Structure 1
Amino acid sequence: MKKEVILSFGAFLILSGCSTVSQNDVFNSMNRMSAARGAGELKWLKTPQEVQDVDKSVNDLLSQPLSEENAVRITLINNRALQQTYERIGIAQSDLVQAGLMSNPLLGYSVGHGGGINRSGVSVELAFLDLLWIPLRKELGGLALEETKLSVGDEVLRSVREAKKSYIDAHVAQEMVRLNGDVLKSQEASLQLAMRQYSAGNLSKRDLLKIQDEYEHARLDSIRLHRDNAKAREALNRNMGVYAEQTDYTLVDEPMILSSQPIENTSLERWAIENRLDIAAAQKRVEYAAKEAGYTKDTRLLQEVRLEAGSEKSTGENRFNSVGVKIPLPIFDMGQARISLTQARYNQSVHRLIELAVNVRSEVRESYAHLCYSYDIAREYNESIVKINQNILEQTQLYYNGMLDGIYELLADQRRYSDVKMQSLIAIGEYQKAQADLAYTIGGVNNAAQR
């Protein structure tokens, strides 16, 4: 019977910390949670083979014109900043396992000799009250793991937003370079015509120099746009985590159009508070801090209690066995500092949660206002200014055909029309980025679509 009790006790000690959820289970749960908010499939790279598989997937996606959807997909599986974030799950899950383990027993051995007598002793010291604290520690570890899962999910959604915005910037920059090519050709045509007229004596040198100055400024604008295009592509490359020949991809060749008008501002603040993962993580932090404060208060005088069993043998005497308990005397340290510390952490977490909730509400209002104004600006360009300048160009073409206007007026109106189309393109890009911002701000892409 005694042997069975010892074996049962030992089995409990061994298994007490093993009934915890695995890292993969937590990651898969986080994957489903973020996918429900608009993110795609995630990959946690742990082995060289998994890295090779992802590299192949990335190369396959980059072998065709890159769409915004595929840019997000590559970011989620290949961005190494996200991979570092995923490891926080492994760290938190390891802490949970550790919380379920008892402290190792201390084995002591002593030997002495004096007056012709040999004495030896062996002792075992065990923090047996760990059996009481393990459930409390595991509860804290579970809350910390849940908070980590929510925080990592929030980072995933942030990465989705940044990938979308960097793709939009790259797409706009590419289209700006293309549109500016038409402007530069128009300036070249003006300069060539002016040089022929100057050679024929039909244009003054001053007018020629003015036209040449306009052309040189157009060239500078072209250089700046190519610089901005390179910068935008590199921002996208960093988000996707690609390098070397992987960066030779092309973007899809499709026009950027103004999509539907903004969603109605109906309870967006409440929606954000209910669905933002960083809010949920902050709530878990408050719960953790409250449990930690209670745990510290309940165990402040008992954590160092030890059970000790010893056996001594002296020359010519029978072995002497003993069992005892070591209890710290609360004379100097009553645990007041630890209690005060955990209470301060709790108060801090509550204030942080309230601050975050206030800021999130402000972000929702700001993002929604920015979305609406961006839409109004883009619509004004798309439905009014572009069409007006197109009509101006058509009228100038008629005047030119009727020899009522000269070639310079026609070329100038062509350049103005191209400039307006470029400004319209920028406005559409700003609206699309505002959509990505609001989608994250209220808790996810799918949430926005349901409002």
Structure 2
Amino acid sequence: MRLLVLCAALALAGCASVTPPEVLKSDVARLAAPATGVTGDARATLQDLLARQPLDADTAVRIALLNNPGLEASLATLAIADADRVAAAQLPNPHFAFSRLREGQLLEIERMLSFNVLQLVTLPWRAQYANESLQLARLRAAQDVIRTAADTRKAWVQAVAARQTVNYLRDAHEAAEAGAELARRMARVGNFSKLQQAREQALLADVAAQQARAEQAAVAAREKLTRLLGLWGADASYTLPDRLPDLPQALPERSDIEATALRERLDVRAARDESAYVAGTLGFTRATGFVDALTVGAVHDTIFDNASGARENKNGFEIEVPVPLFDWGQARTARARASYAQSVARVRDVAVRARSEAREAWHGWRTAHDLARHYSDGVVPLRRFIADEMQLRYNGMLASVWDLLAETRNHIAAVNAAIEAQRDFWIADTDLQTALTGTSPGAIASPAAAGAGAESAPQGH
């Protein structure tokens, strides 16, 4: 039995080697692939991806996964865990001790080569736990990859939507400028009161402020995306599409969202694996409760008698074990039991959260789609029809220019609200994908009431 344990330890020590970083990254990419939603040639370089202008969402995600500094730091942590795995699987170094003692004419020289037998015997278990720890590190790194991909996709959606909003607010600003200029001219010739002119001027000032805020929001959204992409200098001058992707015509029906989350989410899998890992270490702690070291050494002792010139050699061995006088390992065992109980509770907590987040993300996804469809198929066409009818009435001298300008502003406000609803859907779509097949999406963005955008947009009077 002892020979088998020793052979297993020697085999582990001989096979342990540091995994190349490219292999570690490939393993993490394979784990995260179902949730990132990225397809294409994995060998594409940063410059190849930047050449695809304007950047679509998938290309932006691929750039972030290739170039994001924070993600690189996370993958470096994985390399550290792999180095710890190799260190745990290596044989412990022997210790050499030398002592030189003199008493009168006697000189004693002692040499001892010792070896930690307990570390050798427990080497297979320690190597196994280190390998399991590396697997947990892989799962955590894959979750970081998924979060980076989701954050990048949502940042891309927000940047494109902010750009659309700016474009439409510029149209609103032009309409408000036209109304203010007309009011000024009519007030000059006495056909408009000072109160009416002041109202048009106030509307123009409000639209100008909204446009300035929207332009700043667009800059902030683009810079957030740039940070996630890890770009700077000339590479940061990428272009984005003019509008968000079209909404899907219909959404699939699914009744297994909770089961999918429990089966495929990496945080659930990591919690289960961590609990099994802690359970194994609990058994190891109990087995080495109060004897946590065992050292065996070979001793060669030589005594020189300088008076007679005689020399005496003595050979033997030395065994060193700790005396459990004060520490019987109760604290270590209690800590291990508490860690196991904590890991079991964490599994339950992650499972409950995964179920809830899947339901919340699914409901938010459906609601966001319904709202976006409501604006794109109902509100915006209705506002366009009203604006066209008002144009016909104005051409027939049945409506005033103020009625025409008011309806133009109302149409622009409806379009802005539709953009916000469309943005919310694509963000909810990313949250749902993350909640079902990746990890916790964090604070799930609830579908914003797009009507709020219409209220804050310039209105007619």
Counterpart position of 1:328? 322
Q: Classify 1:393/1:56 alpha carbon distance in 2 versus 1 (closer, same or farther; 3 Å).
A: closer
Counterpart position of 1:6? none
Q: Distance in 2 between matches of 1:17 and 1:40?
A: 38
Structure 2 residue 347 is the aligned partner of structure 1 residue 353: yes
Aligned residues: 428
- The alpha-carbon deviation at position 290 of structure 1 amounts to 0.4
Q: Classify 1:160/1:139 alpha carbon distance in 2 versus 1 (closer, same or farther; 3 Å).
A: same
The range that moved more, 426-435 or 375-384, is 375-384
Counterpart position of 1:19? 16
Kindly provide the CA deviation profile for residues 71-99 of structure 1, in whole angstroms up to 9, marking residues without a partner as x: 11111000011001101211111111111
Q: Classify 1:38/1:15 alpha carbon distance in 2 versus 1 (closer, same or farther; 3 Å).
A: closer
Decide whether the 8 Å contact of 1:42 with 1:77 is kept in 2: no
Residue among 160, 165, 168 paired with 1:171: 160
- Superposed, which structure 2 residues align to 1:112-261 within 5 Å? 112-254=101-243, 256-261=245-250
Q: Classify 1:260/1:353 alpha carbon distance in 2 versus 1 (closer, same or farther; 3 Å).
A: farther
Structure 2 SS opposite 1:425: helix
Decide whether the 8 Å contact of 2:34 with 2:437 is kept in 1: no
Name the aligned partner's letter for residue 28 of structure 1. S
Name the aligned partner's letter for residue 128 of structure 2. E
Decide whether the 8 Å contact of 1:378 with 1:428 is kept in 2: yes
- The alpha-carbon deviation at position 439 of structure 1 amounts to 0.4
- The alpha-carbon deviation at position 313 of structure 1 amounts to 0.9
The range that moved more, 215-224 or 189-198, is 189-198
Decide whether the 8 Å contact of 2:158 with 2:423 is kept in 1: yes
Counterpart position of 1:442? 436
Counterpart position of 2:364? 370
- The alpha-carbon deviation at position 260 of structure 1 amounts to 3.3
- Detail structure 1 runs of 4+ shifted over 6 Å in the superposition: 9-12, 41-44
Q: Classify 1:354/1:10 alpha carbon distance in 2 versus 1 (closer, same or farther; 3 Å).
A: closer
Structure 2 residue 265 is the aligned partner of structure 1 residue 276: yes
Decide whether the 8 Å contact of 2:9 with 2:123 is kept in 1: no
Structure 2 residue 303 is the aligned partner of structure 1 residue 289: no
Kindly provide the CA deviation profile for residues 342-376 of structure 1, in whole angstroms up to 9, marking residues without a partner as x: 11111111101110110111111111111111112
Q: Distance in 1 between matches of 2:413 and 2:382?
A: 13
Kindly provide the CA deviation profile for residues 175-196 of structure 1, in whole angstroms up to 9, marking residues without a partner as x: 0011111111111111111122
Structure 2 SS opposite 1:310: strand
Decide whether the 8 Å contact of 2:361 with 2:428 is kept in 1: yes
- The alpha-carbon deviation at position 113 of structure 1 amounts to 1.8
Q: Distance in 1 between matches of 2:86 and 2:14?
A: 6
Structure 2 SS opposite 1:319: strand
Q: TM-score, normalised by structure 2?
A: 0.88
Counterpart position of 1:5? none
Q: Distance in 2 between matches of 1:416 and 1:383?
A: 16
Q: Distance in 2 between matches of 1:40 and 1:142?
A: 29
Decide whether the 8 Å contact of 2:37 with 2:58 is kept in 1: no
Name the aligned partner's letter for residue 369 of structure 1. H
Q: Distance in 1 between matches of 2:54 and 2:40?
A: 22
Counterpart position of 2:373? 379
Structure 2 residue 28 is the aligned partner of structure 1 residue 30: yes
Residue among 340, 359, 365 paired with 2:334: 340
Structure 2 SS opposite 1:317: strand
Q: Distance in 2 between matches of 1:191 and 1:152?
A: 57
Q: Classify 1:286/1:275 alpha carbon distance in 2 versus 1 (closer, same or farther; 3 Å).
A: same
Decide whether the 8 Å contact of 2:36 with 2:150 is kept in 1: no
Name the aligned partner's letter for residue 425 of structure 1. I
Decide whether the 8 Å contact of 2:109 with 2:301 is kept in 1: yes
Structure 2 residue 418 is the aligned partner of structure 1 residue 424: yes
Kindly provide the CA deviation profile for residues 150-169 of structure 1, in whole angstroms up to 9, marking residues without a partner as x: 11111111111111110000
Q: Distance in 2 between matches of 1:27 and 1:205?
A: 69
Counterpart position of 1:71? 60
| Unpaired segments ≥5 residues, structure 1 | 1-8, 45-49, 446-451
Q: Distance in 1 between matches of 2:33 and 2:84?
A: 26
Q: Distance in 2 between matches of 1:243 and 1:323?
A: 66
Q: Classify 1:147/1:119 alpha carbon distance in 2 versus 1 (closer, same or farther; 3 Å).
A: same
Q: Classify 1:313/1:14 alpha carbon distance in 2 versus 1 (closer, same or farther; 3 Å).
A: farther
Q: Distance in 2 between matches of 1:98 and 1:41?
A: 36
Q: Distance in 1 between matches of 2:181 and 2:20?
A: 69
- The alpha-carbon deviation at position 103 of structure 1 amounts to 2.4
Decide whether the 8 Å contact of 2:143 with 2:438 is kept in 1: no
Name the aligned partner's letter for residue 68 of structure 1. A
Q: Distance in 2 between matches of 1:201 and 1:195?
A: 10
Structure 2 residue 48 is the aligned partner of structure 1 residue 60: no
Decide whether the 8 Å contact of 1:172 with 1:429 is kept in 2: yes
Q: Distance in 1 between matches of 2:99 and 2:375?
A: 89
Taking every aligned residue pair, what percent have the same amino acid on both sides? 28
